[in-house]
Structure 1
Amino acid sequence: MVIFIIGVGTTFIVTPLSADRYAQLEFGILVTDMAILFAFMMLALSAERYWTIWICAMQVIQVLSHIPKMIIPELLPQAYYVVIAFWAYPMLLTLAIGTYRHQQRLRQFGVDRSWSDFSSSRESMMHQR
């Protein structure tokens, strides 16, 4: 959730409040989307949960959504906005479902174990420090 909050805040900061918003490539939003992608990739590599991989995949699509504006500069600003904003909603839904499933496993089993021994040994090493 922290990645989403920082991403939204940064997007508001880098998006100019002008009449011609989304009339050309929104470079600040593209850079923000790429930073968010990097953060989600790091999360997906360490979290060992499917939902993190799905969010990462949707963020890849989010970043690639800027390409049509690069290729077709006369693309309608409203269409560009919808294309780059759309994937935030399925990503938030995926986060909600992943969090809900995590809570279910905690209630049912008392723990939500990692998939690999590597994560378990890494966690035990962290607790020993």
Structure 2
Amino acid sequence: MFETIPAYVGAGFMVIVGLFALLKGGEPERIGAGAYIIGWFASLLLQTSGSPFGVQWGVFVLDVVMLIIFSAMVWKAPRSWPVWACALQLLTVTSHVMVMMRLSPPISAFYTVVNMAGYGIMLAIAVGTFWAWQERRAIGVDID
């Protein structure tokens, strides 16, 4: 996983946004960031070292679980960022299904979609955290 500089940049982005959400976010942001960070670490463990062109069932199941978590957050959280996170996670799950059905997308397209969706989810969490933090500061609850 960490063989290239972009991998380190991605990991840094993931950790920084996760810490920001855990420290400054409201309950939905903490749940979303915590679940996504745990899922990210679990996906590192579930990735098979075999062929990168096959279906990785463990990662697929993990992505479906994350889709369920974000869907529940869309239903219950009074925020708009979970809608974006859920939509991007659905894009990731759909990409897995395309590979399973052998619709022959280039594997580089699959990995690009999955990686960019991950960045988008973390960006949605970061924006949601920022607005939750600012709302609390505006009413005087969160003064640094």
* TM-score over 0.5 for the pair: yes
Question: Which structure 2 residue ranges, 5 or more long, are not aligned?
Answer: 1-32
8 Å Cα contact 2:48/2:56 also seen in 1 = no
The amino acid of 2:73's aligned partner reads L
- Distance 1:72-1:96 versus aligned 2 partners, 3 A rule: same
In structure 2, how many angstroms separate the alpha carbons of the residues matched to 1:8 and 1:59?
13
Tell me the equivalent position of 2:46.
14
Mapped pair 1:99 → 2:102: no
Higher relative contact order (CA 8 A, sep 6+): 2
What is the aligned counterpart of 1:57 among 87, 90, 100? 87
- Displacement of 1:84 after TM fit? 2.3
The amino acid of 1:17's aligned partner reads S
In structure 2, how many angstroms separate the alpha carbons of the residues matched to 1:29 and 1:52?
21
The structure that has the greater radius of gyration is 1
- Displacement of 1:73 after TM fit? 6.1
Mapped pair 1:88 → 2:118: yes
Q: After superposition, give the CA deviation of every residue in 1:8-57 in whole Å (9 maximum; x if it has no partner).
A: 11111111123x12x11221111110001111122222211111122112
- Distance 1:51-1:5 versus aligned 2 partners, 3 A rule: same
8 Å Cα contact 1:65/1:83 also seen in 2 = yes
In structure 1, how many angstroms separate the alpha carbons of the residues matched to 2:48 and 2:86?
27
Mapped pair 1:66 → 2:66: no
SS at the partner of 2:48? Answer: coil
Q: Calculate percent identity across the aligned residue pairs.
A: 28
Could you state the TM-score of these two structures normalised by the residue count of structure 1?
0.74
Question: Which structure 1 residue ranges, 5 or more long, are not aligned?
Answer: 112-129
8 Å Cα contact 2:55/2:100 also seen in 1 = yes
8 Å Cα contact 1:11/1:29 also seen in 2 = yes
Q: For structure 1, which segment, 35-44 or 76-85, has the greater mean C-alpha deviation from structure 2 after superposition?
A: 76-85
Please tell me the root mean square deviation across aligned C-alpha atoms, in Å: 2.0
